[in-house]
Amino acid sequence: MDEPTTYTAFHGHRWLANGELRPLLTQVKAQLDELDPHLPLLIFEDRGGRQVDFNLRGTLEEVLEREAPLPRRAGPGRPKLGIVSREVSLLPRHWTWLEEQPGGASATLRRLIDEARKQNPEQERVRQAQTAADRFLGVMAGDLPGFEEASRALYARDLTRFEKHSQAWPEEIRAHALALAAPVFQASRSQEGTDPA
């Protein structure tokens, strides 16, 4: 089972809150009136590092109902799978092959994706961490000194260089970037430990 999705909120360069969506929105909403309106309030989804916008107008109950509604109790039958529809462009021969598979095109695509994710879970975890850290840094540190070098160090899996080039950044941005990138640098350290002398 997948881990729950967590979010992190920043007000300017200051870390504000972290957690699953409902608790996070509750914490942010409680602090909203005390925040400087001239500084941006940015919320990031931790797994992918994407910035997410939420409408925080209204009461806490209205915000939670609109942005993080509780799951509705389903009746008998198939449970809701959380399926998201998006367009996929394939050549005619690909569609023909997919339609011939048991369960149809959608089920086959889901099965192929799940199998690919299981083939090298460590590599997938590192790639996902690099992407999440890079997206976060692009928004929060893109104009800070050493950003380009730190970004290169992230993809080179070089913790020492990353720390060196991010040294002048606000501590909370640096700490969150390191937390997002932890699987990248852990994988690098374990590879060093297995390299022959």
HEC letters along 106-124: HHHHHHHHHHHHHHCHHHH
pLDDT of residue 29: 96
Quick one: which of 20, 28, 120 has its CA closest to 70? 20
**HEC string for the chain:** CCCCCCEEEEECCEEEEEECHHHHHHHHHHHHHHCCCCCCEEEEECCCCCEECCCCCCCHHHHHHHHCCCCCCCCCCCCCCCCCCCCCCCCHHHHHHHHHCCCHHHHHHHHHHHHHHHHCHHHHHHHHHHHHHHHHHHHHCCCCCCHHHHHHHHHHCCHHHHHHHCCCCCHHHHHHHHHHCHHHHHHHHHHHHHCCC
pLDDT of residue 57: 95
pLDDT of residue 196: 45
Mean pLDDT per 10-residue segment, the chain (197 residues): 87 97 97 94 97 96 95 63 75 84 84 79 91 97 97 97 97 97 83 50
Compute the distance between CA of residue 9 and CA of residue 67 in angstroms, rounded to an integer. Answer: 15
pLDDT of residue 60: 96
Q: What's the pTM value of the predicted model, to 2 decimals?
A: 0.77
